[in-house]
Amino acid sequence: MGIWYLLLIVGLCWAQYNPNTLLGRTSVVHLFAWRWADVALECERYLAPHGFGAVQISPSNENVISDRWQPWWEGYQPISYKLCTRSGNETEFRDLVTRCNNVGVRIYVDAVVNHMCGSGGGSGTHSTCGSYFNAGTRDFPAVPYSGWDFNDGKCKTGSGEIENYGDMYQVRDCRLSGLLDLALEKDYVRSKVAEYMNHLIDIGVAGFRIDAAKHMWPGDIKAFLDKLKDLNTQWFSAGTKPFIYQEVIDLGGEPITGSQYFGNGRVTEFKYGAKLGTVIRKWNGEKMAYLKNWGEGWGFVPSDRALVFVDNHDNQRGHGAGGASILTFWDARLYKMAVGFMLAHPYGFTRVMSSFRWPRYFVDGQDVNDWVGPPSNSDGSTKPVTINADTTCGNDWVCEHRWRQIRNMVIFRNVVDGQPFSNWWDNGSNQVAFGRGNKGFIVFNNDDWAMDVNLQTGLPAGTYCDVISGEKEDNRCTGSQVYVSGDGMANFQISNHAEDPFMAIHVNAKL
């Protein structure tokens, strides 16, 4: 009995780090600000057939409506835990979770539980479900929360705001950008948060992104997570815990670190996109050759505690962390290389971004339109995601996850899952290559000259389709072909002027 008890405890300890995706599905896509009806359709028509494991959706609970222009950040200013937002109502939410689960695509909810709306949010019913609130008196009767449930008395700064990120007490007890900070040390508040999250678990969600986790004490997060139920047994085996990943911006140099949150689940590794962007852009003397020890060797959190991404909804707008080095869809050629590298490399659990276009307008280096919300109709309702004949998206939805190069690398990651990082090669500059055991191989040319090299791929002999320039279709390649000889060697020729200066092959794309 002793060993079984030990295994049970170990299993429970690992539970919140497991993404709860189907076996062989290894990535999550963030469908930022999508309507629930469109997420459900995308699970069925695209995500499941192409091996995506899960979707991170936008916050699902009622939020403030700040003005008729409805900026995207309104979704991060809660009014209650009722399930109605610009993305849809509770009926549509339930439909989305059911339909995605039924095709094996899991749903992670972006849980905004550190705070309510901004202190200047006013009073009235200007909220997505029409619930009354009064920010000035800290009155949120639809939860209900009152003045007793906030940290106003606990914060020691004169303004009540975070003034110094070098002081962990301020960062966790004071207001972040004016947002009313919940007193999560109170069991009542913890219970209300857990009640909301358990409602979502009952509906069938598989996990949560914990927004602004850095601004909560790790012990307070643990306290409400300990109140959570196991996942719904309609889709998950009995005893399955929700997957947890916490938004902790830790670029170093502050008292709050990602490692303080490992006891609760994974953390968002913001250094990943910031550093990879610097390397791919070749800034500060960085070279792709230096990526040989990518991962923990670069000072990142352990792989099994990391949620990684090239960009997210904040830092693609210059918010959050990473600064100007962050690569986004606006830098498409370099962005595809960065996402390709991320999806080929074994480090971390990978998240792909899916964005909407907005009218960027820079004044003194700042995008003054960084607030603009999702594509909308004149009445403020979010526009549907339309699909063009070439499978791209319309209505200003970018749909990076549908770009051939990114979709095919999501599949590559599934194919090579569990295989070791192997056969690294570099030219001392920005031409690099590596394999994943005997299942896949990827090659990059980010130098300013052509590449023509013979490399050890570690793959079985045969003709492979490059999945960047095309794919395998009806036993032929729609893009370039790569010939691997009996000794595993192959020749790769990549022009520095190529639309996509990288190539990838895997055993499921072999003729």
> What single letter denotes the amino acid at residue 312?
N
Q: Helices 332-344 and 404-416: crossing angle, nearest 10°?
A: 10
Helix/strand/coil for 75: helix
Burial class (CB in 10 A: 0-12, 13-18, 19+), 383: middle
390 carries an active-site annotation: no
How many C-beta neighbours within 10 Å does residue 142 have? 17
CA 122 to chain centre: 32
Of the candidates 42, 110, 220, 247, the residue annotated as catalytic is 247
417 carries an active-site annotation: no
Burial class (CB in 10 A: 0-12, 13-18, 19+), 363: exposed
DSSP 297: G
Of the candidates 42, 211, 370, 471, the residue annotated as catalytic is 211
DSSP one-letter string for 319-354: -SSSGGG---GGGHHHHHHHHHHHHHS-SSEEEEEE
| Strands (DSSP E) found in 138-292 | 179-181, 207-210, 243-246, 266-268
Return the ∠ at Cα 324 (arms to 322 and 326), rounded to 5°.
55
Q: For residues 11 and 4, what is the distance between their CA atoms, to the nearest angstrom? A: 10
User: Does a cis peptide bond (omega within 30 degrees of 0) precede residue 144?
Assistant: yes
Element (H, E) at 203: helix 187-203
List, in sequence order, every residue forming a beta bridge with 454; answer none if it has no partner. 491
Query: Phi/psi of residue 248, each to 5°?
Result: -125, 105
Q: For residues 307 and 304, what is the distance between their CA atoms, to the nearest angstrom? A: 9
> What single letter denotes the amino acid at residue 61?
N
How many C-beta neighbours within 10 Å does residue 127 have? 25
Length of the chain: 511
Q: For residues 365 and 395, what is the distance between their CA atoms, to the nearest angstrom? A: 27
What are the residue numbers of the active site? 211, 247
